C-alpha cells in the first residue's frame, strides 16, 4: 500500500509539474520541463495500465488481453506445474539431493537430543489424540473405503505377497508361537477348560451315536471304568499345546510353518484355490461383520486407553516409551544400525521418486489450480504487488527522462 501511494505521488508530481510548466512552454527551458512532465505522465499511465492488466481489467473496461492471470488461470497452473516438475525438481536433481543427505548423522543427533521424558510426553499426546480421533464413525468410514479398495483388487496375489513378507521376516513362526502361548494361557482359565470339556463330551457323544451296538458297549464300559475322562483329556490337550509352545522344533510347528511358506506359490498357481479365496473375500465384504468387528474393537480400545490414561502412570505410555527408548539408544550407540536405516530409507525414497516423479507436475498443477483465479491474484499481490508498484514509479521517472532527452535533441536540431 505504501509503494502504491509512492507510485501515485510520482504520477501526481509529473501532472503538477506539467500544469506549472504549461504557461512557460514558449521558453526553451519551460518547453523542456513540460516535455519531461508530459513524458512522465505517459510513462506512469502506461505502466499503471500494464501492472493493472495483469490482475484485472483497468477501470473495468473489457479491453482485450487484460486480466491476464484470472483469464488464463488454467493454462498458468499447467505451465507452473510443468516448469517446476520437469525443469526444477527433475528426477536427477531429487535423486542427487537424496544421495547427498547424511541421514545417519541426522538420526544420531536426533537420538542424542531426545530423552525418555520427551518420548513419554510424545506417547501420551499421541495416545490422547488416538482416543479423541478413533470413533466408530471414523473407523466405519475407513473400513468402507478399505472394502471398496479390496473389492477392486484380486485377493490371491495380495495375500501371496503378504505371506511372503511375513515368512521373510519370520513373523509366521512368531505368530504360531504366540498362538500356542495364548492357547496355553486360555486353558489355564477354569471357564475355558470347562468349555473344552463340554466340547470333548459332545464329540464323544456324536462318535458314539455313529458307532454300532458292539463298539458302543465297549466305549460305554471304558467310560464307566474312567478310561475316557474329560478332565484327563483336557489336561493332555493342554500339555501338548504347552509342549508345542515351548519347542521351536516341534513337528506341528514345522508343518504349519512349511504350509504357510508354500501357500504363496499355491495362491499364484492354483486357480481353484485363488477362486475360493476370491469368493471368500466377496462373501466377507458383502456382510456387515467386518464393520461391526472394527467398531467393537475401536470401542473396546478407546475405553481401555481412556481408563489407562486416567491413571497416574499409564501402562501403555510406559510400554511404548520403553520400546522407543530402546530404539533411541540403539540409534545413538550403533553406527552400523544408523547406516542400515539410512540405506533402507534412501532406497524407499529412491523407489518412490522413480515410480511417482511424473506426478509432481500434476501435484503442483492441482495445488496452484486449487487457489482459484481470485486466490492467485491475492497471493501474487501480497508477495509481489508492492514491488510491481516500483514499475509504475520507474515508468514515470524513465518516461520523463526519455521525454527530456528527446526534447533536448529537438532543441539541438533547431539550433543547427
Kindly state the percentage of the chain with pLDDT values over 70.
Answer: 88
* pLDDT reported for residue 352: 85
* pLDDT reported for residue 265: 87
* pLDDT reported for residue 208: 53
* pLDDT reported for residue 201: 63
Q: How far is CA 80 from CA 83, 84, 109, 287, 359, in A?
A: 5, 6, 37, 47, 14
Segment 192-200 mean pLDDT: 70
* 412 touches 26 (CB < 8 A): no
Please state, rounded to an integer, the average pLDDT across all residues of the chain: 79
More confident residue, 321 or 87: 321
First to last CA, the chain: 48
Considering only 53-62, 184-193, 228-237, 389-398, which range has the smallest mean pLDDT? 228-237
Q: Which has the closest alpha carbon to 10: 39, 31, 51?
A: 39
What is the per-residue pLDDT across 353-387, written as a single tens digit (0 to 9) for each?
Answer: 888 877 777 777 787 777 777 777 777 777 776 67
Segment 127-154 mean pLDDT: 78
383 burial class (0-12, 13-18, 19+ CB within 10 angstroms)?
Answer: exposed
Cα gap 367→81, rounded to integer Å: 9
Confidence band (pLDDT; 50, 70, 90) for 2? Answer: low
* pLDDT reported for residue 33: 85
* pLDDT reported for residue 242: 81
Within 10 angstroms of residue 80's Cβ, the number of other Cβ atoms is 17
Q: Which of 13-27, 70-84, 284-298 has the highest mean pLDDT?
A: 13-27
* 54 touches 66 (CB < 8 A): no
Name the percent of the chain in helix, strand, coil, to the closest 5.
Answer: 90, 0, 10
Give backbone dihedrals phi and psi of 361, rounded to 5 degrees, phi first. Answer: -60, -45
Q: Which three cell numbers stand for residue 223?
A: 467310560
* 135 touches 298 (CB < 8 A): yes
Segment 75-80 mean pLDDT: 78
Segment 237-260 mean pLDDT: 82
* pLDDT reported for residue 224: 43
* pLDDT reported for residue 202: 67
pLDDT higher than 50, residue 262: yes
* pLDDT reported for residue 297: 77
pLDDT higher than 60, residue 182: yes
Confidence band (pLDDT; 50, 70, 90) for 25? Answer: confident
pLDDT higher than 70, residue 207: no
* pLDDT reported for residue 227: 42
pLDDT higher than 50, residue 350: yes
Within 10 angstroms of residue 204's Cβ, the number of other Cβ atoms is 15
* pLDDT reported for residue 221: 46
* pLDDT reported for residue 226: 46
In this prediction the pTM is: 0.51
Amino acid at each position: 500500500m505504501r509503494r502504491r501511494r509512492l507510485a501515485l505521488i510520482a504520477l501526481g508530481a509529473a501532472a503538477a509539474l506539467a500544469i506549472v510548466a504549461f504557461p512557460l512552454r514558449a521558453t526553451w527551458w519551460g518547453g523542456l520541463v513540460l516535455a519531461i512532465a508530459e513524458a512522465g505522465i505517459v510513462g506512469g499511465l502506461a505502466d499503471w495500465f500494464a501492472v493493472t492488466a495483469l490482475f484485472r481489467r483497468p477501470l473495468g473496461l473489457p479491453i482485450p488481453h487484460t486480466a491476464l492471470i484470472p483469464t488464463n488461470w488454467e493454462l498458468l497452473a499447467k505451465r507452473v506445474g510443468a516448469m517446476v516438475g520437469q525443469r526444477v525438481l527433475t528426477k536427477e536433481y531429487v535423486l542427487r539431493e537424496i544421495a547427498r543427505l547424511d541421514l545417519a548423522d541426522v538420526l544420531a543427533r536426533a537420538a542424542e537430543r531426545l530423552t525418555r521424558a520427551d518420548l513419554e510426553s510424545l506417547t501420551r499426546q499421541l495416545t490422547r489424540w488416538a482416543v479423541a480421533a478413533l470413533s466408530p464413525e471414523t473407523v466405519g468410514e475407513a473400513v468402507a473405503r478399505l472394502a471398496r479398495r479390496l473389492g477392486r483388487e484380486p485377493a490371491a496375489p495380495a495375500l501371496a505377497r503378504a505371506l511372503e513378507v511375513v515368512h521373510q521376516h519370520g513373523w509366521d513362526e512368531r505368530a504360531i508361537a504366540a498362538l500356542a502361548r495364548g492357547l496355553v494361557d486360555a486353558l489355564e482359565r477354569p471357564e475355558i477348560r470347562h468349555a473344552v470339556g463340554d466340547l470333548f463330551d459332545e464329540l464323544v457323544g456324536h462318535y458314539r451315536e455313529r458307532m454300532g451296538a458292539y463298539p458302543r458297549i465297549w466305549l460305554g464300559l471304558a467310560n464307566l471304568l474312567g478310561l475316557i475322562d474329560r478332565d484327563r483329556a483336557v489336561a493332555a490337550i493342554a500339555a501338548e499345546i504347552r509342549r508345542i509352545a515351548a519347542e521351536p522344533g516341534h513337528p506341528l510347528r514345522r508343518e504349519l510353518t512349511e504350509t504357510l511358506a508354500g501357500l504363496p506359490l499355491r495362491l499364484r498357481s492354483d486357480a481353484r484355490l485363488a477362486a475360493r479365496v476370491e469368493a471368500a473375500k466377496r462373501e466377507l465384504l458383502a456382510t456387515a461383520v467386518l464393520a461391526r468387528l472394527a467398531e467393537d474393537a475401536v470401542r473396546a480400545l478407546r475405553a481401555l486407553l481412556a481408563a489407562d490414561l486416567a491413571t497416574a502412570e499409564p501402562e501403555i505410555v510406559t510400554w511404548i516409551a520403553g520400546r522407543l527408548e530402546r530404539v533411541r539408544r540403539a540409534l545413538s550407540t550403533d553406527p552400523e544400525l544408523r547406516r542400515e536405516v539410512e540405506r533402507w530409507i534412501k532406497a524407499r525414497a529412491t523407489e518412490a521418486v522413480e515410480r511417482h516423479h511424473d506426478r509432481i507436475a500434476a501435484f503442483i498443477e492441482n495445488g496452484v489450480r486449487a487457489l482459484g483465479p481470485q486466490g492467485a491474484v491475492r497471493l501474487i499481490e501480497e508477495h509481489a504487488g508492492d514491488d510491481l508498484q516500483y514499475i509504475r514509479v520507474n515508468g514515470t521517472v524513465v518516461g520523463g527522462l526519455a521525454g527530456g532527452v528527446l526534447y533536448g535533441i529537438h532543441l539541438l536540431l533547431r539550433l543547427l
